Amino acid sequence: MTTPSDFVKDVDTANFPQDVLQRSREVPVVVDFWATWCQPCLILGPILEKVAADSGGSFELVKVDVDSNQELAAQYGVQGIPMVVAFRDGKIADSFTGALPEDAVRQWVEKILPTELDLMVDQARTALLADDDIAAEHILHQVLDQQSDHSEAGASLASMLIERGATDEAMIVLGRLAPDSEVDRLQSAARLKASSGQDVSELEAKLAADDSNEDARIDLAKALAARSEFEPALDHLLVVVRAKGPKKDDARVATLDIFGVLGDEHPLTQTYRRQLATALF
């Protein structure tokens, strides 16, 4: 027989990435930021544990002692406790502060649990892992037919479309989604992928014949980036930006697209972002 204690786990700064962020990609994780001296925390804690036990594992509950993990609490903006934060797919899905009654807690939990459409997206991902792209795409289209702005379905489908070169269709799918970092990244990837069909040798020859041909240089940079040759692509784009001619903004946008694909932490992004800033001003 299960008890509330079977559904609660203490987490600290060291294991938070694995036990919360990574785990939330498989099942929703609810984090209770609390402290032993906090009376409302002592009221809310047992309610959360009871709801977790009643859910039968549909979400996981972890507790973070803010006194022992002050840096982690600051990272997530904990200013009052108890503060409860739900994570899904490695991101914050919802939160509340203060001790709520049990009925209100149950209603809140219902909002952060996967919907039927979310479960269909999980089926599509399983199909992808089994290399059944046709089934995965069919399921994702079904989800988007019911909810065109479903972020996970839209991002997954757009990624598949970009991979096979259907960039126009991917941009339509992405255009229906709420803007976020993943949508921005995929839009950048789609714009770069659209240049993958261009002949690099032909573009290089065109540029060799006329070193001042900025259109050819930008097209060459995009084609190189589409082949993941990011460093030479960025070098070409910086040449255009530094020239401060009519194509400067086109080169700047293409550079930002490469940054979007690489991510902010990539060494090339960090190096060339500084060079871009210098070239622009």
Give 58's DSSP letter.
S
- Is there a catalytic annotation at residue 227? no
Residues 94 and 140 in one domain: no
* CA distance from start to end of the chain: 68
Q: Looking at the structure, do residues 217 and 276 belong to the same domain, yes or no? A: yes
Given 128, 162, 193, the domain boundary residue is: 193
- Give the pLDDT of residue 87: 96
Give the mean pLDDT of 5-31. 89
Domain C-terminal end among 140, 168, 193 = 193
* pLDDT, average across residues 21-28: 91
Residue 4 has pLDDT above 50, yes or no: no
Count of domains forming the chain: 3
Hey, which bits of 45-202 come out as E strands?
60-65, 83-88, 91-97
Q: Are residues 176 and 223 in the same domain?
A: no
Cis peptide before 82 (omega within 30 of 0): yes
Are 243 and 179 in a shared domain?
Answer: no
Domain co-membership, 95 together with 17 = yes
Q: What is the pLDDT of residue 227?
A: 87
**Which of the listed residues 173, 193, 213 is the one where a domain comes to its end?**
193
Percentages helix, strand, coil for the chain (3-state, rounded to 5) are 65, 10, 25
Angle at 229 between CA 228 and CA 232, to 5 degrees: 150
Could you give phi then psi for residue 230, rounded to 5 degrees?
A: -75, -40
Whether residue 213 sits in one domain with residue 186? no
What is the C-alpha separation between 42 and 46, in angstroms, rounded?
A: 7
pLDDT of residue 2: 43
Average pLDDT of the segment spanning 145-153? 95
Together in a domain, 18 and 93: yes
Q: What is the pLDDT of residue 121?
A: 94
Omega into 4 within 30° of 0, i.e. cis? no
Q: Which residue has tokens 């199909």?
A: 127
Average per-residue pLDDT in the chain? 92
Round to whole Å and give the CA distance between 101 and 222.
56
105 to 77, 96, 113, 115, 263: CA distances (angstroms):
21, 10, 13, 18, 37
When pLDDT is cut at 50, 70 and 90, the band that residue 197 belongs to is confident
Task: For 57-81, write each residue's pLDDT tens digit.
Answer: 889 999 999 999 999 999 999 999 9
Same domain for 136 and 45:
no
Please choose, from the candidates 216, 255, 214, the residue with its C-alpha nearest in 3D space to the C-alpha of residue 235.
255
Please check whether residues 188 and 207 belong to one and the same domain.
Answer: no
In this structure, the answer to whether residues 182 and 215 fall within a common structural domain is: no
Residue 180's Cβ-side half-sphere holds a number of Cα atoms within 13 Å equal to 12
Please state the separation of Cα 168 from the chain's center in Å.
Answer: 21
Looking at residue 126, its amino acid is: T
pLDDT confidence bin for 56, thresholds 50/70/90 = confident
Give the pLDDT score at 40.
96
Q: Look up the CATH number of the domain holding residue 92.
A: 3.40.30.10
The boundaries of the domain holding residue 209 are 200-280
Q: How far is residue 207's CA from residue 50's CA, in Å, rounded to a whole number? A: 69
Whether the per-residue pLDDT at 42 is higher than 90: the answer is yes
pLDDT (mean) for 123-146: 95
Q: What is the mean pLDDT of residues 166-185?
A: 93
Quick check: is 41 catalytic?
yes
User: Does an H or E element contain 113, and which?
Assistant: none
Q: Write the CATH number for 123.
A: 1.25.40
Are 186 and 227 within one domain? Answer: no
The overall pTM is greater than 0.95:
no
Tokens of 112: 């952060």
| Both tokens assigned to 114 | 């996967």
**Active-site annotation holder among 8, 11, 30, 41:** 41
| Residue range 236-244: mean pLDDT, rounded | 94
* Of 30, 38, 120, 124, catalytic: 38
For helices 248-262 and 267-280, angle between their N-to-C axes, nearest 10 degrees: 160
Based on the fold, state whether residues 188 and 211 are members of the same structural domain: no
How high is the pLDDT of residue 157? 96
